């Protein structure tokens, strides 16, 4: 076995991290547009600080981001030059700016028509995330976002609209970016803000139920509108290792894995797993379901499972083992066998093979790695060129790991889209200096710079990787 001939090589971005033009074309204010850079960012993202308006004292990186809104032709031309077969992007607040309009915003629909046409012109398959950390602020103010069952109706309408409009342009869709992020960053992923003293876990799992129902509805609508559509779920993936072979550590790691698998278990197998039902009983959580929900979930499982992977995680039952390091979503214990990025994220290519195998064993559905990459500081030389061998090394080792998972373990893998194929705003920090791209964008953390695009060393390297279907990695 080797990689498929039609393996979807490419890159990924999200509207809120690249587009800018935050109020242009009648776009509505999205939750990320009120998340500032700097000291209050984490409290706002976690739903601990209610901030639903922009405030002049703060800087909001999403407002201009890298101005993909005006540079999309140039950017997609560069993706095409690298030979991309696939480009992952996201969509929402341009189409229903407030989330609850009767009619969609034609200007928003047209913008994505142009973006999609530009991709198709070069033979690039679009992969659309329906919501990537994107909820209209209006829906947070009026119905408390995903706490409310009404969100399912708004989401359904969005799906009807985009599936119909882009029926012949898009085949691959993801319903929610990193759906498990809801548990960790409830505001920036799902627009949840908490009241003091309330049972936050109950709020989160009720919101999760609404998203799971919305995801199943999306799948149902998609297959009705175009049976060729392929609908995927999307998990912030990373296997969780036990610190030692102490059974207590093994048990703890299993439980932590389940926190994340829970979402995909429902989306992929179509029912709430028993371990989750028991957990809800213990936590005194009573999920409110409507008639027909269980049937809907059962009949509308996803076609494929996608995930992001940056590095593995480590856990221990021993409270003395408490040296932590940063990671995607939330910190993890420091694994002494692994190196870290400049932001403390642990680098573990073998962990990608392990994660792929764990997901494939569990779901037996095609997998898609829709995010992977190294956030690093890039320093241009005197000619403005960036020799990002560290990024090439990181991606090369991860490609080797997934190739082996396909070739030796038999995992069915649809594609690989690296995260931030062009430099973009970091979700966790709001910085530009945490760069992932093959394409450098001249913009700094404070929003200064010309927005000029230039190719890094990794640009031509990735081009060679794609043209050889992953055979030439040096």
E runs forming strands in 342-447: 346-347, 367-371, 413-419, 439-441
C-beta of 256: minimal distance to ligand BG6 in Å? 17
Tell me if residue 387 is catalytic.
no
List the x/- string, 168-207, binding to ligand BG6 by CB under 6 A.
---------xx-----------------------------
Please say if 201 is a catalytic residue. no
- The nearer residue to ligand BG6, 21 or 344, going by C-beta atoms, is 344
Does the footprint of ligand BG6 cover residue 14 (CB under 6 A)?
Answer: yes
Q: Which residue in 19, 118, 125, 178 is the catalytic one?
A: 178
- Is 419 a binding residue for ligand BG6 by CB under 6 A? The answer is yes
* Part in contact with ligand BG6 (CB under 6 A); list of ranges 54-62, 115-123, 212-220, 422-430: 422-430
Residues 288-317 close enough to bind ligand BG6 by CB under 6 A: 308
DSSP structural state of residue 2:
-
CB of 422 to ligand BG6, least distance (A): 12
Shorter beta-carbon distance to ligand BG6: residue 17 or 190 = 17
Catalytic, out of 19, 118, 125, 371: 371
User: Using CA atoms, how far apart are residues 88 and 181, in angstroms rounded to an integer?
Assistant: 19
- The residue (of 189 and 219) whose beta carbon lies closer to ligand BG6 is 189
Distance CA(331)–CA(333), nearest Å, equals 7
CA pair distance 406, 410, nearest whole angstrom: 5
Segments in 364-413 forming alpha helices (H): 389-407
Say which residue the tokens 């996803």 belong to.
302
Q: Nearer to ligand BG6 by C-beta: 42 or 358?
A: 42
Number of H helices, E strands in the chain: 14, 16
Going by C-alpha positions, the residue among 187, 234, 188, 193 that lies closest to residue 215 is 234
At its nearest, how many Å lie between ligand BG6 and the CB of residue 431?
8
CB of 245 to ligand BG6, least distance (A): 30
Q: Does 328 bind ligand BG6 (CB under 6 A)?
A: yes
Site string for ligand BG6, 131-170 (x = CB under 6 A): ----------------------------------------
Which helix (DSSP H) or strand (DSSP E) does residue 281 occupy? helix 274-282
352 by Cβ neighbours in 10 Å (0-12 / 13-18 / 19+) ranks as buried
Q: Is 434 in the site for ligand BG6 (CB under 6 A)?
A: yes
Smallest gap, in angstroms, from Cβ of residue 440 to ligand BG6?
A: 16
For residues 105 and 37, is the Cβ–Cβ distance under 8 A? no
In terms of DSSP bridges, do strands 230-236 and 8-12 run parallel, antiparallel, or are they unpaired? Answer: unpaired
The one segment of 246-254, 381-389, 423-431, 442-450 that binds ligand BG6 by CB under 6 A: 423-431
DSSP secondary structure, 14-62, as one string: -HHHH---TTGGGPPPBGGGG--SSTTHHHHHTTSS---S--TTS--GG
**So which residues are the catalytic ones?**
178, 371
Provide the binding-site residues for ligand BG6, judged by CB under 6 A: 14, 17, 177-178, 236, 308, 328, 371, 375, 419, 426-428, 434
């Amino acid at each position: 076995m080797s990689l498929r001939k039609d393996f979807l090589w490419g890159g990924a971005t999200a509207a809120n991290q690249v587009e800018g033009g935050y109020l242009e074309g009648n776009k509505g204010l999205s939750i990320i547009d009120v998340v500032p850079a700097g000291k209050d960012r984490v409290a706002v993202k976690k739903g601990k600080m209610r901030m639903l308006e922009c405030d002049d004292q703060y800087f909001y990186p999403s407002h201009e981001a890298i101005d993909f809104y005006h540079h999309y032709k140039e950017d997609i031309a560069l993706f095409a030059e690298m030979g991309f077969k696939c480009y992952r992007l996201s969509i929402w607040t341009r189409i229903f700016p407030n989330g609850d309009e009767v009619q969609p915003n034609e200007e928003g629909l047209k913008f994505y028509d142009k973006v999609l046409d530009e991709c198709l012109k070069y033979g690039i398959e679009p992969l659309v995330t329906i919501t990537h950390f994107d909820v209209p602020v209006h829906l947070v103010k009026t119905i408390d976002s995903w706490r409310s069952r009404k969100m399912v109706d708004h989401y359904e309408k969005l799906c009807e609209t985009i599936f119909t409009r882009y029926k012949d342009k898009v085949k691959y869709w993801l319903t929610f970016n990193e759906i498990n992020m809801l548990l960790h960053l409830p505001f920036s992923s799902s627009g949840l803000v908490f009241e003091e003293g309330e049972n936050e876990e109950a709020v989160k799992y009720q919101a999760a139920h609404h998203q799971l129902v919305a995801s199943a509805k999306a799948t149902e609508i998609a297959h009705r509108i175009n049976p060729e559509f392929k609908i995927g779920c999307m998990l912030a993936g990373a296997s969780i290792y036990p610190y030692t072979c102490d059974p207590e550590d093994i048990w703890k790691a299993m439980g932590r894995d389940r926190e994340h698998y829970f979402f995909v278990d429902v989306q992929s197998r179509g029912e709430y797993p028993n371990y989750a039902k028991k957990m809800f009983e213990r936590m005194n959580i009573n999920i409110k379901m409507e008639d027909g929900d269980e049937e809907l979930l059962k009949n509308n499982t996803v076609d494929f499972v996608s995930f992001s992977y940056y590095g593995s995680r480590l856990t221990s039952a021993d409270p003395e083992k408490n040296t932590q390091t940063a990671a995607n979503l939330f910190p993890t214990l420091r694994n002494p066998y692994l190196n870290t990025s400049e932001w403390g994220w642990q680098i573990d290519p073998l962990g990608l093979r392990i994660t792929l195998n764990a997901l494939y064993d569990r779901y037996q559905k095609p997998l898609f790695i829709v995010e992977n990459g190294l956030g690093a500081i890039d320093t241009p030389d005197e000619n403005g060129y960036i020799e990002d061998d560290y990024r090439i090394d990181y991606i090369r080792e991860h490609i080797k790991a997934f190739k082996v998972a396909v070739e030796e373990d038999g995992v069915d893998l649809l594609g690989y889209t690296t995260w931030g194929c062009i430099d973009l705003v970091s979700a966790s920090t709001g910085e530009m200096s945490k760069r992932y791209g093959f394409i450098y964008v001249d913009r700094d953390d404070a929003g200064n710079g010309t927005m000029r695009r230039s190719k890094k060393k990794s640009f031509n390297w990735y081009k060679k990787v794609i043209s050889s279907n992953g055979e030439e990695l040096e």
